[in-house]
Amino acid sequence: MSRNNAIIVAGGSGTRMNLATPKQFLEIHEVPVVVHTIQAFLAYDPDISLVLVLPANHFDSWMLLKSSYLPDVKVQTAKGGETRYQSVKNGLELVKEGLVAIHDAVRPCVTQEVIQKSFEAAERYGSGIVTTALKDSIRKADKEYSHAMDRSLFRIVQTPQTFQVDKIKEAFQGEEKEIYTDDATVYEHVLGEQVTLVDGDYRNIKITTQEDLQVAALFLETKKPQANH
């Protein structure tokens, strides 16, 4: 088994876009978003072990897409849960050893450089969490007032979030809590360890709106995986 693993979490339904097609199955340059995402990890490591987590009622659609775009690539599938925490936990059951990157299926523009930095930090420190600095000024608002904040003290958290497998599996053994907004929070809270941040890329957007699709199409213009029809 490859030392590098990736869990691609595809839980989106497309409701925010008012579309019947789940976001991960929407096409950019005639290729589904999730295929772009998987291709990004394969470009970093052709031998990476892949796990795709998605709702059970999307399995058939995925297999059709896989046969067209990734016929020779081994991708294990895990059933998505009611929450992201449950989905990741299900995906981790299929990962045995080494390092594992947990990544949103709808972040197809992630670069090899970002993936590499995340894996290297996890190898050395136990975790590698991709973040970017804030571009805009921010204010903290309460019921009556708002207060200017120092934006240099904050980071926008992206994926991949990469960990040593034994540590993140240990972290996900407990019960889910409301404070678990991402995988790094689970790791930090349960194990009591600081997470290691690595510099991300502003192009690594999460597709949630029609506008995001248009922007991602620009970023992906230079790499267009083709279907094997």
Identify the pLDDT of residue 222. Answer: 63
Q: 133: which strand partners?
A: 155
Q: CA–CA separation, 47 vs 200, rounded Å?
A: 23
> Which residue type occupies 61?
S
List CB contacts of 64: < 8 A, sequence separation 6 or more. none
Dump the DSSP string for 17-32. Answer: GT-SS-GGG-EETTEE
62 in Cβ contact with 102 (< 8 Å): no
Q: How many CB atoms lie within 10 A of CB 28?
A: 21
> What is the reported pLDDT for 192?
94
pTM value surpassing 0.85:
yes
| pLDDT in 10s for each residue of the chain, 229 residues | 349 999 999 975 445 555 678 899 999 999 999 999 999 999 999 999 999 999 999 999 999 999 999 999 999 999 999 999 999 999 999 999 999 999 999 999 999 999 999 999 999 999 999 999 999 999 999 888 999 999 999 999 999 999 999 999 999 998 899 999 999 999 999 999 999 999 999 999 999 999 999 999 999 986 554 444 3
pLDDT in tens, 15-42: 555 567 889 999 999 999 999 999 999 9
Domains and CATH numbers, the chain: 4-219 (3.90.550.10)
Cβ contact 138:149 at 8 Å: yes
Cα dihedral value 111, 204, 182, 43, nearest 10: -20
* Gap between the Cα atoms of 115 and 89, Å rounded: 21
